[in-house]
A and B are shown apart, each in its own frame.
Chain A
Amino acid sequence: MDFINAIVVLTNFTIIPALAYGSQLALGAIFVTLIYAVLRFANFATGDMMSFGTMFAVLLTYYFQSIGLGLGFLPTALLTIPFAIIMMILYMLLIDKFVFSYYRIKKSPPVQFAMVSVGVMFVTQAIIRIIIGPSDRRFLDGEKFILKATEFKEMTGLNEGLTLKSTQAITIVVTLIIVSIMFWFLNKTKTGTSMRAYSDNEDLALLSGIDPKRVVLITWVIAGILATVGGILYGLDKSYRPFVYFNNMLPIFAAAIVGGIGNPFGAFLGGYVIAFAEILITYAYKRFIAYLVPESMEPDSLMQLLSTDYKFAVSFSILVIVLLIRPSGIFKGKTI
């Protein structure tokens, strides 16, 4: 019984949250990797672009709630996803047309692109500040829990409860759907193949009649979907604080690099690697161990490797270690 209790504690506090958090990171990491593979630069505006898309979801959720439109037990925010995606894509295309395309035609080096994206990041932050302000907002409605701790205890008679928040389940399911569709698109469709070809060998792609403008357009469309959905899922799960997304860029970049930058499947797995590392290293194992060892050996300390305040240090360390030992990432990079 104690053993099962230990497993339940671990699942409840690490595995389920890590799967949800990992999914959110994975979407961001695929976004980073896709932009890197096709447009060939590290987009530092990633976090704020996710925030930008989420902002529309928050505003539209308030509007839909005010006119009484909802999805019952599901969050209203799900209903706003298509609209938020459209706004996000329009914004990205606008930025691309007025900012990035100029440097693309000039064939600027990637470093210059990265610096330009820092500028885009500041502008995006400012726009968010003007439209919605910096404060914390909750926009989750509908049923909060699929499985409550007390219900689980009653059902199983265990000491420990297992909770499954609806946002966690939604995050995992939506991520799997989006990512599967994206991989199907990249690998099985003519347009997806042409994107991979363009990423692999731009000159030869041009000589084969692939239109670079179309490839860029489709890349932004996919990027817009990933950024918006990733941002909304994160906002639903935690809360929407516009500038938290900027901080999330560190684990997102770490995930993209761990997975081999330019490799979307690597980025997808990299998201979970980073999420599990952050959560497992900052989790306090006291209760878990207490179930497994005799009472006399119960630990006095929290049995925590690092305080949760340092969770970004974990992703930063992983990033540095990967860059030192295996710079191409766990999976070989530069391919979509």
Chain B
Amino acid sequence: MAFFEGTQMTAGYGDGPDIISSCSISANRGEIVAILGPNGAGKSTAMKAMLGLLNLKSGSVTLDGEDISKISPQDRVKQGISFVPQTRNVFAELTVRENLEIGGFLREEGLDQMIENIYDLFPILSEKKSQIVGQLSGGQRQQVALGRALMSEPSVLMLDEPTAGVSPIVMDELFEHIIKVKKTNVAIVMVEQNAKQALSISDRGYVLVTGQNKFEGSGEELLNDPEVRRSFLGG
């Protein structure tokens, strides 16, 4: 059994139709798992279901063998799951340091030490620590968002399109940061549009189509699978 696992998840928004049905995703510590697929495939929904932002109609979510399907997103955060939303993922009116402090809001101790660790991971944040985050560039903001999420020392980090709207150079830089985070023994689940680049840094990938698992395998397998290439990677 994987460290963080969503099994046979079926869910939708409110009373609407099911967006994902019998979708299964798992991730182990120190592993990057990419969720890919065409628009409207339910990638973000699958991730939100694992975080508890929407209720499962059937299926379950487990963390380290414990069933967490019934507990609220806030409580899942306390259990060590951290989430970086696609939009509005920083406190734009607060300074970089304050963003990190809020990220470590639940920490009883070691706040300053942890902030130093984040500065080591993202050196640019140390330079900009007193700046209002709203004034930073897109790539720097994403680093703040990652830093905030890491402040709680999560065992699972979920990223919803971390590279949306940033330039290709910044994207490469962000992927490098994500690999650094992985090396700290965190399980990373990410939804990505840039499928090729995402697979190249991922240990495993899932391709969802209309809310169901269509393909899964290691990053390399998916990259080399002719059918996946044809349908999702542009030949």
Smallest distance from the beta carbon of A336 to chain B beta carbons, Å? 8
Residues of B71-87 whose CB lies within 8 A of A = 73-74, 77-78, 82-83, 85
Q: How far is the CA of A210 from the CA of B105 in the complex (A)?
A: 7
Binary CB contact string for chain A from 198 to 227 against chain B (1 if under 8 A, 0 otherwise): 001101111111100000000000000000
- Contact assessment for A203 and B105 in the assembled complex, using a CB-CB cutoff below 8 Å: no
- Contact assessment for B73 and A206 in the assembled complex, using a CB-CB cutoff below 8 Å: yes
Please pick, from A194, A200, A204, A205, the residue contacting B85 in the complex, using a CB distance under 8 A.
A204
Segment from B93-101, B115-123, B179-187 that makes contact with A: B93-101
Kindly state whether residue A112 has any CB partner on chain B within 8 Å.
no
20 A-B pairs with C-beta separation under 8 A = A190-B105, A193-B101, A196-B91, A196-B93, A197-B91, A197-B94, A197-B98, A200-B91, A200-B94, A201-B88, A201-B90, A201-B91, A204-B88, A206-B73, A207-B77, A208-B152, A209-B77, A209-B78, A209-B106, A210-B102
Q: Which residues of B contact A209 (CB under 8 A)?
A: 74, 77-78, 105-106, 152
Residues of A85-116 whose CB lies within 8 A of B = none
Q: Which of A193, A205, A206 has the most chain B CB within a 10 Å cutoff?
A: A193
Q: Which of A190, A194, A209, A335 has the most chain B CB within a 10 Å cutoff?
A: A209
Q: Which 4 interchain pairs have the tightest Cβ spacing?
A: A209-B106, A335-B93, A197-B102, A200-B93
Apart from A201-B90, A209-B105, 11 more pairs, CB < 8 Å:
A193-B98, A194-B102, A196-B94, A197-B98, A200-B92, A204-B85, A205-B91, A207-B85, A209-B74, A209-B78, A210-B105
- Contact assessment for A207 and B88 in the assembled complex, using a CB-CB cutoff below 8 Å: no
Smallest distance from the beta carbon of A246 to chain B beta carbons, Å? 33
Q: How far is the CA of A206 from the CA of B74 in the complex (A)?
A: 7
Interface size on B, residues (CB 8 A): 22
Smallest distance from the beta carbon of B197 to chain A beta carbons, Å? 26
Q: Which residues of B contact A190 (CB under 8 A)?
A: 101, 105
Q: Contacts A194-B102, A209-B105; is A203 near B93 (CB within 8 Å)? A: no
Interface size on A, residues (CB 8 A): 17
Kindly state whether residue B148 has any CB partner on chain A within 8 Å.
yes
- Contact assessment for A193 and B94 in the assembled complex, using a CB-CB cutoff below 8 Å: yes
Binary CB contact string for chain A from 33 to 44 against chain B (1 if under 8 A, 0 otherwise): 000000000000
Smallest distance from the beta carbon of B67 to chain A beta carbons, Å? 21
Kindly state whether residue B12 has any CB partner on chain A within 8 Å.
no
Q: Which residues of A contact B218 (CB under 8 A)?
A: none
- Contact assessment for B102 and A193 in the assembled complex, using a CB-CB cutoff below 8 Å: yes
Q: How far is the CA of A334 from the CA of B92 in the complex (A)?
A: 11
> What residues of chain B have their CB less than 8 Å away from a CB belonging to chain A?
73-74, 77-78, 82-83, 85, 88-94, 98, 101-103, 105-106, 148, 152
Q: How far is the CA of A66 from the CA of B117 in the complex (A)?
A: 63
Q: Contacts A197-B91, A201-B91, A335-B93; is A208 near B85 (CB within 8 Å)? A: no
Q: Which residues of B contact A194 (CB under 8 A)?
A: 102, 105
Q: Which residues of A contact B98 (CB under 8 A)?
A: 193, 196-197
Q: Which residues of A contact B93 (CB under 8 A)?
A: 196, 200, 334-335
Q: Which residues of B contact A201 (CB under 8 A)?
A: 88, 90-92
Binary CB contact string for chain A from 279 to 296 against chain B (1 if under 8 A, 0 otherwise): 000000000000000000
Q: How far is the CA of A203 from the CA of B85 in the complex (A)?
A: 10
Q: How far is the CA of A203 from the CA of B145 in the complex (A)?
A: 13
Q: Which residues of A contact B94 (CB under 8 A)?
A: 193, 196-197, 200
Please pick, from A203, A208, A335, the residue contacting B102 in the complex, using a CB distance under 8 A.
A208
